[in-house]
Amino acid sequence: MSIKAYGATAADAPLLPIDITRREPGPHDVQIDILYCGVCHSDLHQVRSEWAGTLYPCVPGHEIVGRVSAVGAHVSSFSSGDLVGVGCMVDSCQSCPSCDESLENYCTGSGFVGTYNGPSDDAPGHTLGGYSQSIVVSEKFVLHIRHDEKDLAAVAPLLCAGITTYSPLKHWNVGPGKKVGIVGIGGLGHMGVKLAHALGAHVVAFTTSPDKKQAALDLGADEVVVSRNDDEMAAHAGSFDFILNTVAASHNLDPFVGLLKRDGTLCLVGVPEHPHPSPTAFNLVFGRKAIAGSLIGGIAETQEMLDFCAEKGITSDIEMIRIDEIEDAYARMLKGDVKYRFVIDSKTLADA
């Protein structure tokens, strides 16, 4: 099936309309009409080849929500008309120790197959993502959406920003009695604030943008710190159980390590183009502190996060765009000028 999409043919080329093909659904496949797709900073990193290995044409998009339009003969948990989501993965080896624990995101067999830029038998030989009218995905990698249909556009970012923050918050036991920092109040960070608050923690938002102070409180932060203000930072020295760092650019981590309690953890989820300067060992050894990382989340945990958010009424704060506004959206995302996630209205692809 030939459909419309938006993609780039080179790292320095703008995103433009392209026609792509989707396979006919196989016995275990779900075919989805895409209704909305979130715009993640990873889309920008990859389409501009800021990380190694981008394959062109590149059609980004891994915060996909839509409606099932057809299912294969052996699909048991989805039917035509269902509202569903697809996140950052569309396949994995299904047999390694990580896949056995539903941690497909850490698949050590073939590695997980990304929703775009991953290996594929379908043309053009790599996967093409959600800046497109439809997608065909193996049933195992499709999620049920249980929010109200009217909230669907604001659910899209949960498929990456939501799970990428939920998974480490759960892994490091964030909850009542814990003091938690969220660094960078962008797409991931604003979900981190909402989720850490919903999990019952005392939440401190760290931002480089003083004008986001009130907005961060409105998201559920108990306190807000402008991270470039040394006095505001010093007031929190040695007090955090856990800090989640979502910043998309290289920066000095030492000031955040200094805010951890003994045995505290600074977890990185931001993956900047250029590495952070090496942290100072002294700051880690005095206090047995850890710097860790976390990558999205497994399929079972993604469903758990979606259901948790549906139950608590949690969605993303979004600004809807037309697909032909995507380059402008990227420029604004680079300036931190979005509250807090752009979401593409996929019906605008019809005019592309």
Among 98, 208, 239, 348, binds ligand NAP (CB under 6 A): 208
Rule CB under 6 A: which of 209-268 touch ligand NAP?
209, 212, 246-249
65 part of the interface to Zn ion, by CB under 5 A = no
Spell out where the chain has E strands: 2-7, 16-21, 29-38, 64-71, 83-86, 89-91, 113-114, 134-138, 143-144, 179-183, 202-207, 223-226, 240-245, 260-268, 290-293, 318-321, 341-345
> Please, what is the minimum distance in Å from the beta carbon of residue 219 to ligand NAP?
11
Q: Which is nearer to Zn ion, 191 or 203 (CB)?
A: 191
Question: Positive or negative, the Cα torsion across 304, 104, 165, 287?
Answer: positive
Among 160, 205, 260, 323, binds Zn ion (CB under 5 A): 160
40 part of the interface to Zn ion, by CB under 5 A = yes
Q: Which is nearer to ligand NAP, 209 or 239 (CB)?
A: 209
Give CA separation, 334 vs 117, 249, 327, 330, 347, in Å. 22, 10, 11, 6, 25
Give the total of residues touching ligand NAP (CB under 6 A): 28
Closest residue to Zn ion, judged by C-beta, is 40
115 part of the interface to ligand NAP, by CB under 6 A = no
> Please, what is the minimum distance in Å from the beta carbon of residue 50 to ligand NAP?
9
Measured CA angle at 15 (ends 48, 299), to 5 deg:
70
- Interface mask (CB under 5 A) for Zn ion, residues 253-292, using x and -? ----------------------------------------
Residue 264's closest CA among 231, 294, 232, 238? Answer: 238
42 part of the interface to ligand NAP, by CB under 6 A = yes
φ/ψ of 82, rounded to 5, equals: -65, 145
Helices (H), 48-144: 97-100
Q: Which is nearer to ligand NAP, 33 or 317 (CB)?
A: 317
Q: Which two tokens stand for residue 332?
A: 């604004």
Residue 157's closest CA among 90, 203, 88? Answer: 88
Stretch that binds Zn ion, among 42-50, 89-97, 235-243, 328-336 (CB under 5 A): 42-50
Name the site residues for ligand NAP (rule: CB under 6 A): 40-42, 45, 160, 164, 184-189, 207-209, 212, 246-249, 269-272, 295-296, 333, 336
Site for Zn ion, rule CB under 5 A? 40, 42, 160
